Amino acid sequence: MPTFQPSRPGERMIPVEEAQERVLAEVQLLGTEQVVFTDALGRVLREDVRARFDVPRGDNTAMDGYAVRADDIANAPVSLRVVENLPAGTVSKKRVEAGTAIRIMTGALMPDGADTVAHVEITDAGSEIVTVNESLNRGTNIRRRGEDMHAGDVVLADGTPIHAAEVGVLAGVQKPVVRVGRRPSVAILSTGDEIIDVGDEMAYGKVVNSNSYSLAALIREAGAVPRMVGIVPDTPEATIAAIESGLESDYVISSGGVSVGAYDFVKEALDTLGAETRFWQVAMKPGKPVVLSRIRGRLYFGLPGNPVSCLVSFLLFIAPAIRKAMGQTTNLLPPIVQTRVLASLKSRGDRRNYMRVRVMARDGELVSQPMISQGSGVSTSMVQANGLMIVEAGVTAIEAGSMVPTVLVGPVQS
């Protein structure tokens, strides 16, 4: 019968920050590919995108109204002769001479001679003759040429993650095809003799594989492509074979089998495969056993089997790695904010504890509602949780109302 796993010489439990640094130090930038800009959402830009022309192309009106000369309306109210009607997209052939105005719609280029737009609200909206009732400073209501983008300027820098605003700018500079980071493929294997799959018949003592699916979802959310390797029985041979098959992807993630149990074979399998292991244990709860290894040029992440530990360690270590691999250069780690905790909390104090909370904006500050159960096996405690409240080692109680640093892993709720 196998025995408990012995601890290894030189093995050290490292702080979370050090583990994050070691992970990011191991991540290499993946290659690039070109995609149609409408497919670039969620990708990372891998070229500098420059404006090809000034945007706007020329001075134009920000308001519907009348293109006038500021001097003409200095003694408003004043009546001006309307010499032309200018919808957006048309270019005036006339000039605004003293005593005249051109009716102009938002976005239309400023006609020669005019230096100000009298917005319709301060006029009588006349067609032949318009009365302007107020004077305006020269330049009022004019959007200047190049105010948005100057020809030749980098408007989106290499390394920018592409969200909605970036898609809009790509469209605005007429960039139909754009170079982005390749999406990494990530193999997922779930170890455990007790694990059955979603479609299998339930039996007493069995546990449904939820980790593979929540990990796949997190991988997609991070912009990568998950690949299911499946459920792996707790034998050294099966573990080795599954890891080898995982190595066809850019990264391999396993859940379970990294602890000190007699049937935790991941470490042994990694040794057999000649993996260079960077760390085995991180000083955190949930998720103390977390493995980072390099095997045949690939990165291997061994996460604990407990569903909460598995997700928390993905968010702290693997999501940043995926961002870096795709080309993101800043904001790799999830942000840490101060939140006011709404209920008192107890912690064992032996290790830094990442307690699941719901972070909400309330009365101008961020507040955190701790999840009722904080057990690392309680998968439902992650539902609606968007924060991991950091309770440091040595701290055993947190008073309701105190401010506590909290890792934001999802959008703040209202």
Contacts to ligand AMP by CB under 6 A:
190, 192, 194-195, 207, 209-212, 255-257, 259, 261, 304-307, 377
> Mind spelling out the 3-state secondary structure of 343-366?
CCEECCCCCEEEEEEEEEEECCEE
| Cβ 336 vs Cβ 405: under 8 Å | yes
Cα–Cα distance measured from residue 197 to residue 224, given in angstroms and rounded to the nearest whole number: 23
Nearer to ligand AMP, 107 or 261 (CB): 261
Identify the residue among 65, 111, 181, 192 touching Mg ion (CB under 5 A): 192
Binding to Mg ion by residue 184, rule CB under 5 A?
A: no
| Cβ 251 vs Cβ 184: under 8 Å | yes
Question: Which option in ligand AMP, Mg ion, none does residue 194 bind, with CB closer than 5 to 8 A by kind?
Answer: ligand AMP
Nearer to ligand AMP, 191 or 328 (CB): 191
Nearer to Mg ion, 192 or 327 (CB): 192
Q: Cα 75 to the chain's mean position, in Å? A: 54
CB of 252 vs Mg ion, minimal distance in Å: 17
CB of 274 vs ligand AMP, minimal distance in Å: 23
Contact positions with Mg ion (CB under 5 A) in 126-155? none
Nearer to ligand AMP, 135 or 306 (CB): 306
Question: Which option in Mg ion, ligand AMP, none does residue 214 bind, with CB closer than 5 to 8 A by kind?
Answer: none
Contact positions with Mg ion (CB under 5 A) in 282-311? 305
Q: Helices in 194-281 by DSSP H: which ranges?
A: 211-221, 236-246, 266-272
Nearer to ligand AMP, 181 or 304 (CB): 304
Identify the residue among 161, 184, 223, 256 touching Mg ion (CB under 5 A): 256
Cα–Cα distance measured from residue 316 to residue 305, given in angstroms and rounded to the nearest whole number: 16
Closest to 397 in 3D by CA, of 352, 355, 345, 351: 345
Q: Cα 200 to the chain's mean position, in Å? A: 35
Per 3-state DSSP, the chain is made up of helix, strand and coil in percentages (nearest 5) of: 20, 35, 45
Q: Which residues bind Mg ion (CB under 5 A)?
A: 192, 256-257, 305
